[in-house]
Amino acid sequence: MSQQQPNGALPNSEHADEYFDKHPTPKSLSKHQALAREFIQYHLENSPNRRIVLVTSGGTTVPLENQTVRFIDNFSAGTRGATSAEYFLQEGYAVIFLHRQYSLLPYSRHYSHSTNCFLDFMEESDGNDGRVVVRKEYQDKMRRVLQQYQFAKQNRLLLLLPFTTVTDYLFQLRSLAVLMRPLDSRALFYLAAAVSDFFIPRERMEEHKIQSRDDKGGSSGSGASRQLVINLDPVPKFLSTLVHSWAPKGSMIVSFKLETDPNLLVSKAEQALKRYRHDLVIGNLLTTRKWEVVFVTRDGGERWLRVPKARRSKSLSGVEELVGKAEGKHDPEPVDLEGGTVTEGMEIESLIIPELALIHTDMIEHGK
Ligand code: PAZ
């Protein structure tokens, strides 16, 4: 029997259970579970002190139809997640990278989705021997990236698991958190994915492609009669269930809060911490997220991390650059292309991750 809260609402965990009961298990779940189980077991057996971080990355979709033609999506390209994963690997973590399919990935992000086609990084060797080689100006960086990628691969430090829809994401988040329980305080959750707050309940979802009046063969009708009105329900607050029920008790849980209004950012981050009682909220604003974030802690602390102005990259990621251009948006900083390459700056994740690793160490050594 459902336990009602004073306002008549169900407690969060029951909303969560109800959500899972109403949605079919994604087809890929058992395969992803098996891969994750094996990955975690490998590290438990071979390096008992190894910490494992679950990095979530990219945006979730909200399908409008069961046989999905149209869906609601968001802006996230997965830059934060993919970049953070690399810095976690540098800190010695093993990384489960739960990401939106086809969004940016650790290491390959340097060459995919960019303004350059990957073929622009290559040329025919001048030895007339038919070989294709990396162009000289890219070799140093590509060697570094390749070495790091190979190290992660050879030591089985990186597991890539894709999702597409919000439901897909939530099923995987739940099962990964449960699988991570044996890690106890060595587990870290770094929730950078932009997860939809709204969805269409299954019972209200169309099976087939939604038809416009014209598609149905009717007359073109008035503007209003041809409108598509979408009625979305709130997604249950799964962070609460993650913290209080799925995740290992001693684990560290970090969530992100994105806002566009600077006046709301810190108070919304504080609200989230109070509500879900996890360890840290990292706040960021849409327009400045590449060079400043704020750490909001449970003791009321508020600390800003910033990339110094002189070291900021002059570009958003390639995807955003293209999307921004298409939408007529303005990059807050000028785009600076040098011979076709985007000027490299300091990445804010190089400040965020070492800081988190220190906090995590403190939690492991002294308890929460
Ligand atoms: O993927 P990206 O690098 O373009 O954006 C990262 C981000 C802004 C989605 C992330 O830092 C974040 O704030 N995620 C949580 C969003 C939210 O649900 O409030």
- Could you report the predicted ipTM of this complex, rounded to two decimals? 0.99
Nearest CA to ligand 1 atom 8: 258
CA–CA gap between residue 12 and residue 174 (Å, rounded): 14
Residues near 42 by beta carbon (within 8 Å), at least 6 away in sequence: 156
Q: Answer yes or no: is 141 within a domain.
A: no
Question: Which residue matches tokens 């579970």?
Answer: 33
| CATH for 21 | 3.40.50.10300
Contact 52, 95 (CB under 8 A): yes
78 lines ligand 1 (CB under 6 A): yes
- Dump pLDDT digits (tens) for 214-230: 655 555 566 667 899 99
Please tell me the pTM assigned to this model. 0.89
Q: Answer yes or no: is 119 within a domain.
A: no
State the average pLDDT for the chain: 88
Compute, in angstroms, the gap from residue 222 CA to the centroid of ligand 1.
Answer: 39
Range of the structural domain that residue 201 is part of: 12-110+147-208+228-306
Two structure tokens written together for 240: 């609460």
109 lines ligand 1 (CB under 6 A): no
Nearest CA to ligand 1 atom 6: 80
- Dump pLDDT digits (tens) for 246-279: 999 999 999 999 999 999 999 999 999 999 999 9
Count of CA atoms in the C-beta half-sphere (13 A) of 231: 6
* Across 104-108, 110-114, 181-185, 308-312, least confident range: 110-114
Compute, in angstroms, the gap from residue 131 CA to the centroid of ligand 1.
Answer: 41
Mutate to test the pocket of ligand 1, among 55, 73, 76, 290 (most ligand atoms within 8 A of CB): 76
Q: Answer yes or no: is 80 within a domain.
A: yes
Residues near 8 by beta carbon (within 8 Å), at least 6 away in sequence: none
Compute, in angstroms, the gap from residue 59 CA to the centroid of ligand 1.
Answer: 8
Q: Answer yes or no: is 124 within a domain.
A: no
Q: Answer yes or no: is 356 within a domain.
A: no
Structurally, the chain folds into a number of domains equal to 1
Q: 58: buried, middle or exposed (CB in 10 Å: 19+, 13-18, 0-12)? A: buried
Q: Which of 8 and 153 is assigned the larger pLDDT?
A: 153
Encode burial over 188-224: b for 16+ CB neighbours within 10 A, e otherwise: bbbbbbbbbeebbeeeeebeeeeeeeeeeeeeeeeee
Q: 61: buried, middle or exposed (CB in 10 Å: 19+, 13-18, 0-12)? A: buried
| Ligand 1, atom nearest to 320 Cα | 4
Q: Answer yes or no: is 161 within a domain.
A: yes
290 lines ligand 1 (CB under 6 A): no
289 lines ligand 1 (CB under 6 A): yes
Q: Answer yes or no: is 155 within a domain.
A: yes
CA–CA gap between residue 233 and residue 134 (Å, rounded): 50
